[in-house]
């Protein structure tokens, strides 16, 4: 099964398979680099890694318009229902998996924080490992480098999506160590270039990936697509 990935800027990704359109960390209308508006995006599943506005800002409006099911940690799922009236949610927690039918979603730890935009408690931040047919994809979410990350590579990874923007997450240097541990076939950078504080040179990152790891770096502009 082939999956088409589109980078929608910042940490927002859209995955299309024959059966599903999965949106990760929807942040479009207030993102300076998003190539589409929230009103124009399609999704039948929305994954949210943590509560920060640059990951959840458009989750409720898109879920309500499209009827998409939102999968997030229990606290965020509850907040989306109670505060925003999102009815289709799946609340989970670290280490748990949920079977979407053809897609298995596992929530894994991330080292970060997770306060919601209105100050509510947003539970623990996470990442997602997705089993899509015979492909395994790891979306790290916002995180520091941590050595347990290598456990998520058990069974092999076809793709890792890692933050590289530094300041709020790991930067280029730590992402290289993460890639060595994860040993994915392909790796794509995320959470960079949106604003000046997280501006990094993705070309420099890709060169370091090629020089120091065996993974293939995939760098696209916002709106750019590739296949896994
Ligand atoms: Ni964050
Ligand atoms: Mn963030």
CA 7 to ligand 1 centroid distance, Å: 17
pLDDT of residue 96: 98
CA 141 to ligand 2 centroid distance, Å: 8
CA 197 to ligand 1 centroid distance, Å: 14
- Give the bridge partners for 105, in sequence order: 98, 130
CA 142 to ligand 1 centroid distance, Å: 5
**CA–CA distance, 23 with 182 (Å, rounded to integer):** 23
Ligand nearest to the CA of 163: 2
CA 18 to ligand 1 centroid distance, Å: 31
Helix (H, G, I), strand (E, B) or coil at 228: coil
Q: Exposed e or buried b for every residue in 114-140, given b needs 16+ CB within 10 A?
A: bebeeeeebbbbbbbbbbbeebbbbbb
Which residue in 211, 156, 209, 165 sits closest to 187, CA to CA? 209
CA 166 to ligand 2 centroid distance, Å: 10
CA 197 to ligand 2 centroid distance, Å: 12
Cα 102 to the center of its chain, rounded Å: 19
CA 19 to ligand 2 centroid distance, Å: 29
CA 53 to ligand 2 centroid distance, Å: 8
Ligand nearest to the CA of 31: 2
pLDDT of residue 161: 99
Which residue in 177, 136, 142, 132 sits closest to 159, CA to CA? 136
CB atoms within 10 A of CB 200: 18
CA 93 to ligand 2 centroid distance, Å: 19
Ligand nearest to the CA of 113: 1
CA 125 to ligand 1 centroid distance, Å: 8
pLDDT of residue 101: 87
CA 1 to ligand 1 centroid distance, Å: 31
Please report, for the chain, how many H helices and E strands are present, in that order. Answer: 5, 14
Measured torsion, CA atoms of residues 47, 52, 53, 54, in degrees rounded to the nearest 10: -70
CB 165 within 8 A of CB 142: no
CB 97 within 8 A of CB 106: yes
**CA–CA distance, 228 with 225 (Å, rounded to integer):** 10
Q: What is the reported pTM? A: 0.98
**Residues 50, 138, 45, CA angle at the centre, nearest 5°?**
60
CA 171 to ligand 1 centroid distance, Å: 14
pLDDT of residue 102: 87
Where do the H-state alpha helices sit in 2-151?
53-56, 59-66, 74-84
pLDDT tens series, the chain, 228 aa: 789 999 999 999 999 999 999 999 999 999 999 999 999 999 999 999 999 999 999 999 999 999 999 999 999 999 999 999 999 999 999 999 999 988 999 999 999 999 999 999 999 999 999 999 999 999 999 999 999 999 999 999 999 999 999 999 999 999 999 999 999 999 999 999 999 999 999 999 999 999 999 999 999 999 999 999
């Amino acid at each position: 099964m082939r999956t088409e990935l589109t980078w929608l800027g910042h940490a927002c990704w859209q995955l299309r398979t024959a059966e599903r359109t999965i949106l990760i960390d929807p942040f479009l209308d207030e993102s300076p680099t998003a190539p589409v508006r929230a009103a124009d995006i399609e999704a039948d599943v929305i994954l949210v890694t943590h509560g920060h506005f640059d990951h959840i800002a458009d989750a409720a409006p898109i879920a309500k318009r499209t009827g998409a099911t939102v999968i997030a940690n229990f606290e965020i799922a509850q907040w989306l229902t109670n505060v925003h009236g999102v009815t289709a949610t799946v609340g989970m927690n670290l280490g748990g998996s949920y079977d979407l039918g053809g897609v298995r979603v596992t929530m894994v730890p991330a080292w970060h924080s997770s306060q919601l935009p209105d100050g509510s408690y947003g539970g623990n931040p996470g990442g997602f490992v997705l089993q899509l047919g015979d492909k395994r994809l790891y979306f790290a979410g916002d995180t520091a480098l941590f050595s347990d990350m290598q456990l998520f590579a058990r069974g092999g990874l076809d793709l890792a999506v890692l933050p590289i923007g530094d300041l709020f997450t790991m930067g280029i240097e730590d992402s290289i160590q993460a890639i060595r541990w994860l040993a994915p076939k392909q790796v794509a950078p995320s959470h960079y270039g949106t604003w000046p504080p997280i501006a990094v040179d993705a070309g420099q990152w890709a060169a370091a990936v090629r020089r120091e790891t065996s993974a293939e770096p995939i760098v696209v502009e916002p709106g750019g697509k590739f296949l896994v």
